[in-house]
Structure 1
Amino acid sequence: MIYMLESSIRGGICQVVKRLSRCNNKYSKKTYNSKEKSKYLLYLDVNNLYGHAQRQSLPFENFRWLEQQEIDSHDVSKVSDDSDKGYILEVDLHYPQSIHDNHQDLPLAPERLKPPNSKYSKLLTTLYDKQKYVIHYRNLKQCLELGMVLTKIHKVIEFSQSKWMSVYVDLCADLRKKAANDFEKNLYKLLVNAVFGKSIENLRKHTIVKLARKYSGRHGAQHLISKPNFHSCEIFDENLVAVELKKTEILFNKPIYIGFSTLEISKSFVYDFHYNFMNDKFKCFCLLYMDTDSFIYEIYCDDVYDVIKENIDIFDTSDFNHNNPYRIPLVNKKKIGNWKDECAAQILTDYVGLKPKMYALKIEGEDRVRKSKGIKRCIVKTITFEDYVDVLQNQPETPFEKTQNYIRSKKHCVCSIEQSKVALSYKDDKRYVLSNQIDTLPMYNL
Structure 2
Amino acid sequence: WPSEASLNHHQDYCHGLGEECQIVKLPQKGVDDFMEFKNYGRMMNALCVIIADFESDNKKCDELYGGSMRKLAEQKANSFCYLVHWIDTNETWGPFLYRGENATQEFVRKIDQELVEINNVLTIKHERKVTEEDKKNFAESDTCWICNGKFAVDREAVARLEKKIWVINEKLKNSAKDSNSDEHKSLVTLILKTTKEIENLESMDDKVWDHCHITGKYRGSAHNSCNLKLRIEAWKTPIPVIFHNFRGYDSHLVCESVRQSVNAHQIRVVAETFERYKTMKVGQLKYIDSQQFMNTSLAKLAENLGTNKPITKNHFKDLGYTDEHVDLITRKGVYPYDYIDSHDRFLETELPPFHEFHSTLKGKITQEDYEYAQKVWNEFGCKNLGEYHDIYLKLDVLLLTDVWTEFRKVSMESDRLDPSHYTSLPALSWDSMLKMTGVKIELFTDMDMHDFIEKAKRGGLSMAVHRYFQANNPKMGETFNPSKPTSWISYVDATNLYGWGMSEYLPIGDYKWEVSRKYLKGRPDAQKKWLDIALRTKADSRRGLYLGVNSHFPYKTHDYLSDLPPAVENIAVGKDWLSPYNAELVEDIDEGRFAKTEKLIPHLGKRNYYVIHYRELQYYVKLGMIVDEVTEVLSFEQSNWLAPYIALNTEKRNEAKKAGNTFLSDFYKLKNNACYGKTMENVRKYQDVKLMRNINERDERAFLNKVRSPRFKYGRQLGNTLIGAHMGKASVTLNKPIIIGASVLGLSKLHMYEFWYGYVKEKYGSKARLGYMDTDSFIYHAETEDIYKDMAERPDLFNLNGDTTVGKFKDETPGNVITESYHIRAKSYHYVLADKSTQSKHKGVSKKGMSEMATNSYMPALEGSLLDDPIDRSSMTEHEARDLAMRTKADPMTLVYRDCLFGKEVFHAKNVSIRSKDHILSLVESKKKALCPIDTKRWILSDGITTLPYGHWRNMIYKNMVKDGIPHEEAEKRAIRAKLPEKYQNESTSHIASSQQ
Q: Normalising to structure 2: TM-score of the pair?
A: 0.42
Q: Distance in 1 between matches of 2:928 and 2:614?
A: 43
Query: Are 2:719 and 2:919, in contact at CA under 8 Å, matched by a contact in 1?
Result: no
Structure with the larger strand share: 1
Query: Are 1:43 and 1:295, in contact at CA under 8 Å, matched by a contact in 2?
Result: yes
Displacement after TM superposition at 1:434 (Å): 0.5
User: Gapped runs of 5+ residues in structure 2?
Assistant: 1-448, 521-525, 576-594, 855-892, 957-997
Query: Are 1:367 and 1:385, in contact at CA under 8 Å, matched by a contact in 2?
Result: no
> Which residue number in structure 2 is paired with residue 109 of structure 1?
567
Q: Distance in 2 between matches of 1:255 and 1:115?
A: 30
Q: Distance in 2 between matches of 1:365 and 1:122?
A: 37
Of the three residues 196, 202, 205, the one matched with 2:676 is: 196
State how 1:261-300 maps to structure 2 within 5 Å: 261-283=743-765, 284-300=767-783
Q: Distance in 2 between matches of 1:94 and 1:425?
A: 33
Q: Which amino acid aligns with 2:470?
A: R
> Which residue number in structure 2 is paired with residue 378 of structure 1?
848
Query: Are 2:477 and 2:834, in contact at CA under 8 Å, matched by a contact in 1?
Result: no
State how 1:6-17 maps to structure 2 within 5 Å: 6-17=454-465
C-alpha deviations, 1:322-352, integer Å up to 9, x for none? xxxxxxxxxxx11111110000132111101
Count of aligned pairs: 431
Which structure is larger by alpha-carbon Rg, 1 or 2?
2
Displacement after TM superposition at 1:408 (Å): 1.6
Structure 1 residue matching 2:535: 3-state secondary structure? helix
> Which residue number in structure 1 is paired with residue 741 of structure 2?
259
> Which residue number in structure 2 is paired with residue 393 of structure 1?
902
Q: Which amino acid aligns with 1:60?
A: I
> Which residue number in structure 2 is paired with residue 125 of structure 1?
602
Query: Given the superposition, is the C-alpha separation of residues 251 and 302 from structure 1 closer, same or farther in structure 2, using an over 3 Å criterion?
Result: same
Q: Distance in 1 between matches of 2:912 and 2:733?
A: 41
CA RMSD across the alignment: 1.8
Q: Distance in 1 between matches of 2:485 and 2:710?
A: 68
C-alpha deviations, 1:246-266, integer Å up to 9, x for none? 222212221111100000000
Q: Which amino acid aligns with 2:923?
A: S
Of the three residues 174, 177, 180, the one matched with 2:651 is: 174
Structure 1 residue matching 2:474: 3-state secondary structure? coil
Moved more, 69-78 or 43-52: 69-78
Moved more, 6-15 or 182-191: 182-191
Structure with the larger helix share: 2
Moved more, 130-139 or 411-420: 411-420
Q: Distance in 2 between matches of 1:372 and 1:186?
A: 25
C-alpha deviations, 1:112-141, integer Å up to 9, x for none? 111223332110100011000111110011
State how 1:3-82 maps to structure 2 within 5 Å: 3-68=451-516, 72=527, 73-74=529-530, 75=532, 76-82=534-540
Q: Which amino acid aligns with 2:636?
A: F
Q: Distance in 2 between matches of 1:365 and 1:434?
A: 32
Displacement after TM superposition at 1:219 (Å): 5.8
Query: Are 2:719 and 2:918, in contact at CA under 8 Å, matched by a contact in 1?
Result: no
Pair 1:245-2:718 in alignment: no
State how 1:89-100 maps to structure 2 within 5 Å: 89-100=547-558
> Which residue number in structure 2 is paired with residue 361 of structure 1?
831
Query: Are 1:18 and 1:289, in contact at CA under 8 Å, matched by a contact in 2?
Result: yes
Displacement after TM superposition at 1:66 (Å): 1.2
Q: Distance in 1 between matches of 2:811 and 2:699?
A: 65
Q: Distance in 2 between matches of 1:181 and 1:349?
A: 34
> Which residue number in structure 1 is paired with residue 640 of structure 2?
163
Query: Are 1:370 and 1:380, in contact at CA under 8 Å, matched by a contact in 2?
Result: no
Structure 2 residue matching 1:8: 3-state secondary structure? coil
State how 1:414-429 maps to structure 2 within 5 Å: 414-429=921-936
Query: Given the superposition, is the C-alpha separation of residues 310 and 64 from structure 1 closer, same or farther in structure 2, using an over 3 Å criterion?
Result: same
Q: Distance in 1 between matches of 2:839 and 2:721?
A: 51
Displacement after TM superposition at 1:80 (Å): 0.4
Displacement after TM superposition at 1:237 (Å): 4.9
Q: Distance in 2 between matches of 1:305 and 1:358?
A: 26
Query: Are 1:231 and 1:244, in contact at CA under 8 Å, matched by a contact in 2?
Result: yes
Displacement after TM superposition at 1:238 (Å): 6.4
Q: Distance in 2 between matches of 1:103 and 1:428?
A: 20
Pair 1:341-2:811 in alignment: yes
Moved more, 95-104 or 360-369: 360-369
Query: Given the superposition, is the C-alpha separation of residues 222 and 106 from structure 1 closer, same or farther in structure 2, using an over 3 Å criterion?
Result: same
Query: Are 2:901 and 2:933, in contact at CA under 8 Å, matched by a contact in 1?
Result: yes
Pair 1:303-2:786 in alignment: yes
Displacement after TM superposition at 1:371 (Å): 1.2
Query: Are 1:43 and 1:297, in contact at CA under 8 Å, matched by a contact in 2?
Result: yes
Moved more, 46-55 or 209-218: 209-218
Q: Distance in 2 between matches of 1:367 and 1:119?
A: 38
Query: Given the superposition, is the C-alpha separation of residues 137 and 219 from structure 1 closer, same or farther in structure 2, using an over 3 Å criterion?
Result: farther
Displacement after TM superposition at 1:411 (Å): 1.6
> Which residue number in structure 1 is paired with residue 229 of structure 2?
none
Structure 2 residue matching 1:27: 3-state secondary structure? helix
Identical residues among aligned pairs (%): 32
Q: Distance in 1 between matches of 2:774 and 2:686?
A: 29
Structure 2 residue matching 1:77: 3-state secondary structure? helix
Query: Are 2:831 and 2:840, in contact at CA under 8 Å, matched by a contact in 1?
Result: yes
Q: Which amino acid aligns with 1:4?
A: F
Q: Distance in 1 between matches of 2:473 and 2:515?
A: 58
Displacement after TM superposition at 1:91 (Å): 0.9
> Which residue number in structure 1 is paired with residue 311 of structure 2?
none
